[in-house]
Amino acid sequence: MTETASAPVHNTTESVEEFAARAKAWLAENMPRIDPDNPPDTDRGAEEPWRRARELQRRLWDGGFAGICFPREYGGLGLPYEYQKAFNEVSRGYELPMILNTPTFTICAATILDTASEEQKRKHIPAALRGDEVLVQLLSEPSGGSDLAGVITRADRRGDKWVINGAKTWSTSAFAADYGLMLARTNWDVPKHEGLTMFLVPLNSPGITMRRIKQVNGSVEFCEEFFDNLELGDDAVVGEVDKGWEVASRQLYHERRAVGGGSEYASGIGAEGKTDRPIDYVALLEKTGQADNPWAQQLAGRALAHRMVREQLIDHVYHGVLDGSLHPASGSIIRIAHAETHQLEFDTALAITGASGVVDGDDDLIRHGERYLSRQTASLGGGTTEIARNVISERILGFPREHAADKGIPFKDVKRGRS
């Protein structure tokens, strides 16, 4: 099915206030309200939430509120971030396709916008904004760790095709996706950063075997993929051949901002479902009989203060990068703040609930123990916290780079594993 890249026509002269008023009226007529006592139970590892998200995203598109900050020529509204923030505020309390924000909009579509060909932009960005395509990242590898440039999934040129062999892992929501941005090695005779190429891979292609990964908290959202002679054409290359690190670097830039909560491409803010709702400390203290406990109050107050500081930091860093007063890599600052705040809040909730958070009983309390099981993910997603600190020290503060034993060495000569 072929569709134009243009969303419904919008009044580009309306003020932020007028836009917000129009959005508020439209939401009331067209989007389902969330019952505070029974919010959607969005399990990112299940199929139904993704079908529902596509449906809701199509409603936003038809109503003219999809891709507020994406350019008009690619289906968006081409409006400044202030309009997106205004929409975010008036859309609180409505069911939105939040699971499409990351990685589809804030990471993948944003990377395509910055680095892809004109044809790729016009094909994939509007499709994502319509809810027709879900986009994911295929970056991490079973033996790769945090060294993204050390990927060994290979893309060999055979005739007019690229033939892919290798494996990826920890691919967020890949089972629900249509396309994945995949980094592969196309040249083994140059240093590792110089021989990479980014591909946009249709995930229903022959030659791809996908498996779910079950986490300690029971989630099966993450996947691993195995590529056995997967064939791709030149139209799958994003950017230039052997210059995939430039694309990957831009992708990581968007990922750090997205994970930290500072992307203008996110459509709506807030929890994806009941298991992702911010911790209500007042209700938690009352539930555990500690509403008058100074120790528990102090713990809750500290966590809330960190939450508020993080929210202010996001706004400061976004505008600082936008006006040039902060280095573009400053997204790593909010990436670290997100991890620290996330972990502090989960630690605090479990400290307040105590045994009730780990012993099967009250569902409202046991969920804090269940969420604690995924506490460390905040230090891993978007690159590890250690990598983020290196980015800040080297690119923002100008400290010397760490010694790299493989710098300048052809990748085929780099020792890997036990070799």
Query: Is residue 1 predicted with pLDDT exceeding 50?
Result: no
- Rounded CA gap, 317 and 314, in Å? 5
**In 151-216, beta strands by DSSP E:** 154-158, 161-172, 179-185, 196-202, 208-212
Q: Element (H or E) spanning 375, and its range?
A: none
Instruction: Return all residues near 77 (Cβ < 8 A) that are at least 6 apart.
Output: 7, 10, 64, 65, 67, 68, 69, 70, 83
Lowest mean pLDDT among 205-219, 291-305, 322-336: 322-336
Most confident region among 175-179, 288-292, 379-383 by mean pLDDT: 175-179
pLDDT, position 393:
92
User: Which one is the CATH code of 137-242: 2.40.110.10, 3.40.50.620, 3.40.50.150, 2.60.120.480?
Assistant: 2.40.110.10
- Rounded CA gap, 335 and 321, in Å? 14
Q: Higher pLDDT residue, 377 or 141? A: 141
Q: What angle in degrees, to the nearest 10, is found between the helix axes of 16-30 and 48-63?
A: 130
Q: Higher pLDDT residue, 363 or 325? A: 325
- Rounded CA gap, 379 and 330, in Å? 17
- Rounded CA gap, 157 and 235, in Å? 14
pLDDT, position 3:
39
Query: Is residue 70 predicted with pLDDT exceeding 80?
Result: yes
Q: What is the mean pLDDT of the chain?
A: 89
Query: Is residue 86 predicted with pLDDT exceeding 90?
Result: yes
Q: Tell me the pLDDT band of 257, cut-offs 50, 70 and 90.
A: confident
Residue 252 near residue 244 (C-beta atoms within 8 A): no
Q: How far is CA 409 from CA 120, 156, 194, 412, in A?
A: 33, 20, 11, 8
Q: Which CATH architecture has domain 278-396?
A: Up-down Bundle (1.20)
User: Which one is the CATH code of 31-132: 1.10.540.10, 3.30.70.120, 1.10.1740.10, 3.40.50.300?
Assistant: 1.10.540.10
208-212 and 222-232 strand pairing: antiparallel
What are the start-end ranges of the H helices in 31-164? 48-63, 81-90, 110-115, 118-130
Domain boundaries, the chain: 31-132, 137-242, 278-396
Instruction: Provide, rounded to the nearest whole percent, the portion of the chain with pLDDT above 90.
Output: 63
pLDDT, position 9:
45
Most confident region among 30-39, 93-102, 334-343, 408-417 by mean pLDDT: 93-102
Lowest mean pLDDT among 79-88, 170-179, 374-383, 400-409: 374-383
> What does the block give as tokens for 370?
């269940």
pLDDT, position 276:
67
